[in-house]
């Protein structure tokens, strides 16, 4: 991989723009000072990647940042300071250290890209998570259900459950589990993932942040923004009444709601697949370079 050089003024501008964009994306979350919110806080609680790390810009592999040697970045884990004062990500060492994770993510993203988007689940995973639950055990207790418990259960009973994502399926209630068309497992994730799944789309962000600092900052923030947008749809189509928070319901129990949800799924599958390709391009490049170094090619 041939390195490119970025003058100090240019990379400092990119760094500042990245931080400003991250601040805009996380402002609502930070303003609540820990108060719960089913959309704005979800990505930080579920994926456990704090706003401070999200706003830290990384250029990605093969980029030399001129005149960065005396700056805090030079001391960040994974970076090398060159004799001329430039700073470069030691992507070969990072790729070797994270080889197992990279291999899994590459196989998962490639497998997901190889499949058509399925849009017939209608977001019923959130309904399956409250199916036949007694009062007081609903996950988002601070927010009422749109329908009565009996009506909510009836929606699940009158629709086939077709969840393909283990990290959604594992929260199904015991009564909902046997109703699902398949029984997703962690071990079978590569064989089950498909691009129409909202959780699979949000998880592109998970893989991007887990592989930081190998992942360029624009890919990370684009993945975060996609995950946040998907979470909005996830909650709009859920059984919860979130009108007071500004989220109009998508009534997936109706033909109109199903159509609206499926159209949004298709749009998100296009965005998530674009990010999968961008992330794969980075991982393929660094992995191929490490392989060539080991084999001497």
Specify the pTM: 0.93
Number of continuous H segments (helices) and E segments (strands) in the chain: 12, 4
Q: At what angle do helices 99-113 and 198-210 cross, to 10 degrees?
A: 150
Distance CA 169, CA 47 (A): 17
Distance CA 263, CA 250 (A): 12
Bridge partners (DSSP) of residue 63 are: 4
Distance CA 97, CA 54 (A): 22
Query: Which pLDDT score, from 0 to 100, does residue 295 have?
Result: 45
Nearest to 122 by CA among 219, 243, 262, 231: 262
Give domain limits for the chain.
Answer: 4-292
What region does 134 belong to: left with phi over 0, alpha with psi -120 to 50, or beta? beta
Query: Which pLDDT score, from 0 to 100, does residue 191 have?
Result: 95
Query: Which pLDDT score, from 0 to 100, does residue 288 have?
Result: 74
Comparing 208 with 133, which gets the higher pLDDT? 208
pLDDT at 297 over 70: no
Instruction: Look at strands 4-6 and 79-81 and give their pairing.
Output: unpaired
What mean pLDDT do residues 80-102 have?
Answer: 94
Task: Count Cβ neighbours within 10 Å for each residue of 158-187 and write b for 16 or more, e otherwise.
Answer: ebebebbbbbbbeebbeebeebbeeebeee
Q: What is the pLDDT of residues 18-32, one digit of tens each?
A: 999 999 999 989 988
The radius of gyration of the chain from alpha carbons, rounded to an integer in Å, stands at: 21
Assign 291 a pLDDT band (cuts: 50, 70, 90): low
Distance CA 177, CA 269 (A): 25
Q: Prior bond to 213 cis, omega within 30?
A: yes
Q: What is the pLDDT of residues 247-278, one digit of tens each?
A: 999 999 999 999 999 999 999 999 999 999 99
Contact indicator for 230, 197 with CB cutoff of 8 Å: no
Of the chain, the end-to-end C-alpha distance in Å amounts to 13
* 116 DSSP 8-state letter: P
Q: At what angle do helices 198-210 and 255-295 cross, to 10 degrees?
A: 30
* 72 DSSP 8-state letter: G
Q: What is the pLDDT of residues 209-234, one digit of tens each?
A: 999 999 999 999 999 999 999 999 99
Query: Which pLDDT score, from 0 to 100, does residue 290 have?
Result: 55
Assign 239 a pLDDT band (cuts: 50, 70, 90): very high
């Amino acid at each position: 991989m041939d390195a490119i050089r970025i003058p100090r003024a240019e990379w400092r501008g990119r760094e500042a723009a990245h931080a400003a964009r991250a601040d805009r994306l996380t402002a609502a979350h930070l303003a609540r000072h820990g108060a719960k919110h089913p959309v704005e806080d979800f990505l930080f609680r579920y994926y456990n990647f704090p706003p401070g790390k999200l706003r830290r810009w990384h250029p990605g592999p093969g980029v030399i940042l001129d005149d960065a040697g005396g700056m805090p970045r030079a001391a960040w884990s994974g970076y090398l300071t060159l004799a001329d004062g430039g700073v470069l990500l030691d992507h070969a060492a990072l790729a070797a250290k994270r080889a197992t994770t990279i291999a899994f993510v590459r196989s998962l993203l490639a497998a997901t890209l190889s499949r058509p988007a399925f849009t017939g689940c209608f977001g019923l995973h959130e309904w399956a998570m409250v199916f036949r639950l007694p009062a007081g055990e609903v996950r988002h207790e601070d927010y009422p259900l749109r329908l009565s418990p009996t009506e909510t259960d009836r929606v699940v009973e009158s629709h086939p459950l077709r969840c393909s994502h283990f990290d959604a399926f594992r929260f199904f209630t015991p009564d909902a589990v046997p109703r699902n068309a398949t029984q997703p497992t962690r071990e079978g994730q590569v064989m089950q993932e498909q691009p129409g799944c909202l959780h699979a789309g949000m998880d592109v962000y998970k893989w991007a942040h887990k592989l930081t600092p190998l992942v360029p900052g624009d890919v990370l923030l684009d993945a975060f923004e996609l995950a946040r947008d998907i979470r909005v749809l996830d909650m709009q189509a859920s059984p919860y009444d979130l009108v007071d928070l500004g989220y109009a319901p998508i009534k997936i129990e109706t033909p109109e709601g199903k159509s609206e949800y499926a159209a949004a799924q298709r749009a998100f599958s296009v965005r998530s697949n674009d990010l999968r390709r961008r992330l794969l391009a980075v991982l393929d490049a660094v992995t191929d370079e490490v392989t060539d170094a080991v084999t001497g090619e």
